[in-house]
Amino acid sequence: MSLKALTTAAATGVLGVGAAQADRDLSIHPAAQCAALWLGYSDCAANSPYLAVDPADADRAAAFRAVALRLGTSPRAQIDHFIALQRPLMEKLVEAMIFGRDRQSTDVFEALDETCKSFAKDHPETRKLS
């Protein structure tokens, strides 16, 4: 599968889930989605000879997962399953943004990053994330 096809699949997965669940399930979107984003970002760095792994990414992911669990709008198993499904999509999204210089991936990443930053301000687990 080409990088462009993977990018489109990742972007569709991210946007589709976010739009469908944003209003009714805060544990999934944005909390679990943000956890998956930072895990995917960390995975991309771990698999790249050009990026350094930042331990703060795992801390961010854990903090957003903690928010998702505390909010409890979905069962723990569903939250963890969602994160596991989204994680490789986030890795491909980051890969396409950084290495493919894909505009659509950049736009999706930036929108999700802004959502995560805004959401983080309202929760004690994530409020102090850098």
Q: What is the pLDDT of residues 95-120, one digit of tens each?
A: 999 999 999 999 999 999 999 999 99
Query: What per-residue confidence (pLDDT) applies to 1?
Result: 45
Residue whose pair of structure tokens reads 């491909």 in the numeric block: 92
Residue 21 has pLDDT above 80, yes or no: no
> Rounded mean pLDDT of the chain?
88
pTM of the shown model: 0.83
pLDDT given at position 97: 96
Dump pLDDT digits (tens) for 24-53: 799 999 999 999 999 999 999 999 999 999
Distance (Å, rounded) from C-alpha 108 to C-alpha 128? 24
